[in-house]
Amino acid sequence: MNDKTTNPGLQASLKSADTEEWIDLLFYRPIGYRWALLFKKLGISPNAITIASIFLGVAAGILFYYNNLWINVAGMCLLVWANMYDSADGQLARMTGQKSELGRILDGVSGDFWFIAIYVAICLRLTPEWSWWIWVLAATAGFFHGKQAAMADYYRNIHLFFLKGKSGSELDNSVQQWAIYYSLSWKKDFIRKLFLWFYSGYTHSQEQLSPRFQRFFALLRTRYGDTMPPAIAQEFRLGSLPLMKYTNILSFNTRVVALFISILIDQPWLYFVFELTVLNGLLVYMVWKHESWSGYLYRKIQHES
């Protein structure tokens, strides 16, 4: 707790106080910061830490296959450890300026590897009882998991854009990403072009679920270019700030608490139900509120002109 309020190094390693969850501020960020300091002394790069987190998260998922409480608890510990590293890699990158496109790729897919392993392990564990129905349930939950995580990430980056500007956000648009994709050669830039194929589609899917924001943002760009009037940025931030708690719920901590509880009571299928009901309900509410706010500001700016 003291680190959060008095340690300037820790504060500098955070994205912003607006977008941080209390569990992260109390636990993951202080521990991640200490890991980052250690890795900095050892000369270990953020990308290496991300790769380590992938191995830890996948190993955690594999341990959820076993119907054994202590093996499952070991998996929970590994998943927490993986998330510590996931925090540390970003903190180290911000501390040292070691930001790269590869780092963004790895950071973006690391959690996907964790949860793919978790989903597959749970399905294999429950197949003798559920047959192929558990795979259908898991696939449906996984599809919506992707939507939940994508929009949570998108709204955080939108908020950071209005708070810190382009340099403090990873907000992208699909048109620019597709332009970069088509400018590359499969022969010379295979890995980057492959990533951009997925990433451009991912960004486009985020934009499709936020049409009113796209209209509002396009109006701002037309009127003001890249220089956002501070009053408009501040007003948008005030309306967006209450939604940040929902972006955090739809990310890692709440999701993992539900996962751990379902495993501890030996009913892991309940985790999929939690995603399809509670988390989907929050997703719909979050999108509706964000779109309503974007529509209101669009009309206000139009009226003022």
Average pLDDT over residues 108-136: 94
% residues pLDDT > 70 (the chain): 91
Residue whose tokens read 């022969």: 187
156-178 per-position pLDDT tens digit: 999 999 988 877 677 888 998 89
Q: Can you give the pLDDT at residue 3?
A: 44
Give 122-152 as a 3 state SS string: HHHHHHHHHCCHHHHHHHHHHHHHHHHHHHH
**pLDDT-derived band of residue 305, with 50, 70 and 90 as boundaries?**
low
Average pLDDT over residues 2-14: 58
Residue whose tokens read 């392993």: 117
Cα→Cα distances 165→170, 171, 257, 277, Å: 10, 10, 33, 35
% residues pLDDT > 90 (the chain): 61
What residues contact residue 248 under an 8 Å CB cut-off, 6+ apart?
Answer: 19, 21, 24, 152, 254
The answer to whether residue 100 scores a pLDDT higher than 80 is no
- The chain-wide mean pLDDT, for the chain, equals 89
pTM of the entire predicted model? 0.88
Asked whether the beta carbons of 269 and 122 are under 8 A apart, the reply is yes
The answer to whether residue 54 scores a pLDDT higher than 50 is yes
Average pLDDT over residues 57-62: 96
Q: Can you give the pLDDT at residue 4?
A: 45
Q: Can you give the pLDDT at residue 169?
A: 78
The answer to whether residue 97 scores a pLDDT higher than 80 is no
Q: Would you give the DSSP letter of residue 173?
A: -
Asked whether the beta carbons of 92 and 39 are under 8 A apart, the reply is yes
The answer to whether residue 14 scores a pLDDT higher than 80 is no
The answer to whether residue 279 scores a pLDDT higher than 90 is yes
